[in-house]
Amino acid sequence: MVKFEYLEPKSLQEACELLEQHPDDGKLIAGGTALLIMMRMRLLNPGYIISLEKIPDFNCIRYDDKEGLRFGAGTRHREIELSPAVRTHYPLIHETFRKVAQPRIRNMGTIGGNLCQGDPLTDPGASLMTLDAELTLTSAKGKRVLPLEQFFIDYYQTDLRPGEILTDIRVPPPAKGLGWSHIKFMPRSQEDFATVGVALTLSVRNDHCEDIRLALNSVAPTILRAKRAEGVLRGKKITDQLLQEMGETAATEVDPMDDNRGSADYKRELVKVIVHRAAKEALQRTGT
């Protein structure tokens, strides 16, 4: 049994102060779905567990037509999945969170914990990235705002600095007529991690791609934006040949590993196919 002291701050300021007091052996807990597993595996042995459960407004979901969507980092996956505002204004987010693991996990795991874990196999980061999400990171020294696509650094590594707490995630107001797609390819179980995950948003004007965002998970050390693949289509008249070329380009931007979900070569081939499929699906949703 791992021995630790359990602390329950009543405010964000108090949580930041506790984290500053215990920089080496203090760990934050919200849902605990990742932390507890790592502790059981003896990958982490913290002396202090700092709970974020009692911090006010840490699990809120708010939507405004001008400001967009904001949810606290302590918001659970299931709350985001079931949110009427998310379902109405951000169907990509709803579709993504509906596919995360299974309800028991979604009822416990939080979006903040998911992102801060830096696990490249998880789904929410890719979809939020295509919607230009921003993170607010808070410490005893102040706050900073960071685009989500800059947050993931390496395998299980993020730009979360010592003493910082991810406090909220903001998604800008959705563009009118935005096409979207989220495809999670799983060879075994609907509760499994994706072999390849693709999230894509697309805006079209006069049969031309006005803008595009393409993000992938499970195919590199981090969740990533496939910017070269985006460049294949952006500003050009959309044809099936270009969509295929975009998929082929995306396959050159990933760096998958061999594992029990498939070989690296297999995953690259899947990227070609699924990116093409996701682009066609997003195009249909633009109504063009």
Stated as kind and residue range, the H or E segment containing 20 is helix 12-21
Interval 197-207: pLDDT, tens: 999 999 999 99
Residue 48 has a pLDDT of: 97
Residue 259 lies in a domain: yes
- pLDDT (mean) for 136-162: 97
Residue 56 lies in a domain: no
Both 280 and 210 in one domain: the answer is yes
Domain that holds residue 93: 61-171
DSSP state of 11: S
Among 35-44, 120-129, 276-285, the least confident range: 35-44
Residue 1 has a pLDDT of: 61
The overall average pLDDT reported for the chain is 96
Residue 2 has a pLDDT of: 74
Give the residue, 252 or 3, on which the prediction is more confident: 252
Q: Going by C-beta distance under 8 Å and a sequence separation of 6 or more, which residues neighbour residue 148?
A: 115, 125, 128, 129, 132, 133, 134, 135, 169
Q: What's the number of CA atoms in the CB half-sphere (13 Å) around residue 155?
A: 7
Cβ atoms of 136 and 160 within 8 Å: the answer is no
Both 213 and 280 in one domain: the answer is yes
Both 127 and 148 in one domain: the answer is yes
Q: What share of the chain is helix, strand, coil (3-state, %, to 5)?
A: 35, 25, 40
Interval 55-86: pLDDT, tens: 999 999 999 999 999 999 999 999 999 999 99
Q: Would you say residue 263 has pLDDT above 70?
A: yes
Q: Would you say residue 288 has pLDDT above 80?
A: no
Number of domains in the chain: 3
